[in-house]
Structure 1
Amino acid sequence: MSTETQEPPPSETLYIRNIKENIKIPVLKESLDAAFSLYGPILDIIAHGNIRMRGQAFVVFEDVETAKRALDEVQGFPLFGDDQPLEIHFAKSKSDAVVSKAGEEELEEHRKIRLAEKDRKKAEFEAAQKKRKRQGGALSSGRPSKKSALGASDEQLPPNKILFLQNLPDDITADQLTETFEEYAGFFEVRLVPGRKGIAFVEYETDENAVVAKQGTEDLKLGDKPVKVTFARK
């Protein structure tokens, strides 16, 4: 894999990130509506308070041209008057509000596809668990003692929700790593280490989420460097 990721094509739905995480959801929706409704009618604003969705939201417009104009003009805007500029991209998938305009049948099909994708990710997780069992490291078998974990090599560390990345390119950014690791369910955040090049941490909501992400990035390359992905020491 490389640091180059393909931007989603223009669509009616904007994906917004880098929002202050301590903003209450009703206040966030009102602020997004005030900022984006200047460009055209808004069909829906999606924002949740769970860990995975903190600092993120979706704004759904009636048409693509309106969404394009809003993306260009609001990109980098400090929504709450601080130095935290919004990062805006087109969403990777269509929202229910957009699909529903085509009719109930299309909306039902859209929901079926979304559920199928959810099932696919669940199957990936279950396959990863079975693989660990075959390797003698099933999650259900219990964790090694703290003493044995301290003496373990990186590859032998017990699963936890934080991955430790080594051998990263010196110029890697948090955004580049996010684009790679947010593809896996339960992604929470990337943390670079100030003053230290070549390493980073990636946190997920659960140990199981991190297991799937680790399995999926075993052969990860960023630039021309093979990245070492292990569980973090506790």
Structure 2
Amino acid sequence: MALIKKRSTLQIWADVIFAIFLREIKSSFNDKFGLSWAIISPMIMVAVMVVIRQPFDGGDTHGLSTLFFIIYGVLLVQFYLGVMGKTAEAIQKNKPLYAFRQVQPISSIVAIAGFELLVKFFLVLVIAIICFFMRVDIQMHDPLEIILIVFRVWIIAISVGTLLSLASCYVPEVKKLQIFITRPLFFISGIFFSLQDIPQEYWHYLTWNPLLHAVELARYAASPAYGDAGVSYFYLDAFTLSSLFLALACYHIGWKQAISR
């Protein structure tokens, strides 16, 4: 007589997430150029921006080397855009799977966001290996704080992506609005500039952006000499918790109607 193994709800949910995670890895490896481009693209952007900025500051930007000044900005902003963009497509992408009652949209959102986190981990590992062989000292004064900042950015990206994913089920044109909103983030999130490069009377036009706070605070955690003028851990934490609460509330209210449309 065959034994029937009973699983808890949490175990079933974990198995579903893992299955979707493996599916995402498999689909990414089918498009090898796409996966490798996710690693190569940020490295090219870092190299170009360092070449442009270095002649102006002599290789040192407010107490942080220009190389790592650019690296922290590019990696955090691209990480946010990658996670947000993928999670915004998660519900529609995996809609056929919702015919199985064990599979819910939140499972695909978590799995895809986890995959993006794994890709960026390998990107950081590649950059660290390159720095090691080129004998470049890695500037990371407080690695724990940098990890916590990355985690905050990840949560914000998942939250915003979830809201966009739900909205696109009701209004498909939201995808066009998403592109319009995200493009300026490269210019207003401090990838190429520091808040200290801008006159203080103009800071309030930029400091509403939580990504700018995350980038500047990551640079501060990498080198205390960089300073944290104009940015706040409180604002970043408050925005992270608020966006997460709003995303979970909207998901709880509307996920069943969203997948039935």
Q: Answer 1 or 2: which has greater strand percent.
A: 1
Q: Answer 1 or 2: which has greater helix percent.
A: 2
TM-score norm. by structure 1 comes to 0.27
TM-score norm. by structure 2 comes to 0.25
